[in-house]
Amino acid sequence: MIKHSIALTRQSQGLWFIVNKGRLYMTEDGLLPQGRLGSLAIAVDPEQICWLGEYQQQPCYLVVDHDQVTDDSVWHSARNLLNQDEMLFQLAARALQVALFLQTHRFCGQCGSAMHLVNWELAALCNKCGHRCYPRIAPCVLVGISRPGQILLARSTRHKAGFFSILAGFVESAETLEQAAVREVKEEVGVKISHLRYMGSQPWPFPHSLMTGFTANYQGGDIVCQPNEIAEAAWFDLTKLPEVPPVETLSGKIIRYLQQKNSR
Ligand SMILES: [Zn+2]
């Protein structure tokens, strides 16, 4: 639950998640600023601050900074927090997604009137037509496909050469997570899978995904890449992998889980 109006003064202490266009303000040491509101390096209107939660007994606040970025070097991706602390990354994910919600729901998508924030839940409401919006969350499936000793990895057209991961895709309207997993794998690399097993989930604020992870068994079919999305895909020996996502990400966790399972 987010409180929209908190009695903050320049003396208020906290850990500050300052967001500008999907990026976070970080100090020279790569940390989030903490301490008094008045000591922050940017101009902040205390009315514009949202409470996010607590981290190590410290209150955490979101500050949405709409100003033009002058010094690019202080704005960083939340990915930088992934290897610091899972809880910190989760708070950052919340900050980024709430900031995006506030920025993109100023006007009603149904009638075009100005919207305002509901004071008891995180929602935007149009007084004219009653349209109510909540922060968007886009569910996405990750599927680690294996056959004895091997894993199917693909390189997205968005990734550099040599970097591979498990398959991923967005859930479509009125689809279950399992149906999405089977469909995405078929579409992206042309193979059939079976025995889907749920592995966990991870908020992914780029910009508002919720990753859900599965493992699956290879059932049949040759690899045929979908040209728009997949640059290359292949079976890799689980003992000899290319560069893959770090263990802090859900895809990285699934790959290492299949590796460990193979070595047992
Ligand atoms: Zn409206």
pLDDT at 47: 67
158 and 244 together in one domain: yes
73 and 170 together in one domain: no
Which CATH number belongs to the domain containing residue 8 in this structure? 3.90.79.20
* Number of domains composing the chain: 3
61 and 158 together in one domain: no
pLDDT at 71: 79
127 and 158 together in one domain: no
Which CATH number belongs to the domain containing residue 227 in this structure? 3.90.79.10
Query: In which element (H, E) is residue 177 found?
Result: helix 177-189
39 and 94 together in one domain: yes
Q: Which residues contact 188 (CB under 8 A, 6 or more apart)?
A: 154, 167, 169, 225, 226, 229, 230, 233
- Expressed in angstroms and rounded, the spacing between residue 134 Cα and the centre of ligand 1 is 14
90 and 18 together in one domain: yes
Mean pLDDT of 216-231: 97
244 and 143 together in one domain: yes
Residue 210: pLDDT band with limits 50, 70, 90 = very high
Angle at 259 between CA 256 and CA 262, to 5 degrees: 150
- Expressed in angstroms and rounded, the spacing between residue 56 Cα and the centre of ligand 1 is 41
122 and 92 together in one domain: no
pLDDT at 231: 97
- Expressed in angstroms and rounded, the spacing between residue 141 Cα and the centre of ligand 1 is 33
38 and 61 together in one domain: yes
- Expressed in angstroms and rounded, the spacing between residue 183 Cα and the centre of ligand 1 is 36
Cβ atoms of residues 259 and 96 within 8 Å: no
The residue segments making up the domain with residue 53 are 3-105
pLDDT at 1: 39
Mean pLDDT of 19-42: 87
Distance CA(60)–CA(182), nearest Å, equals: 39
Given a cut of 60, is residue 4 above it in pLDDT? no
Mean pLDDT of 27-34: 90
Q: Strands, DSSP E only, in 96-208?
A: 116-117, 124-125, 132-133, 138-147, 150-156, 167-170, 192-204
- Expressed in angstroms and rounded, the spacing between residue 120 Cα and the centre of ligand 1 is 20
pLDDT in tens, 174-204: 999 999 999 999 999 999 999 999 999 999 9
- Expressed in angstroms and rounded, the spacing between residue 82 Cα and the centre of ligand 1 is 38
- Expressed in angstroms and rounded, the spacing between residue 3 Cα and the centre of ligand 1 is 24
166 and 181 together in one domain: yes
147 and 251 together in one domain: yes
- Expressed in angstroms and rounded, the spacing between residue 114 Cα and the centre of ligand 1 is 8
- Expressed in angstroms and rounded, the spacing between residue 125 Cα and the centre of ligand 1 is 8
123 and 148 together in one domain: no
pLDDT in tens, 231-255: 999 999 999 999 999 999 999 999 9
From 84, 105, 126, the end of a domain falls on 105
pLDDT in tens, 102-157: 999 999 999 999 999 888 888 999 999 999 999 999 999 999 999 999 999 999 99
From 116, 136, 156, the end of a domain falls on 136
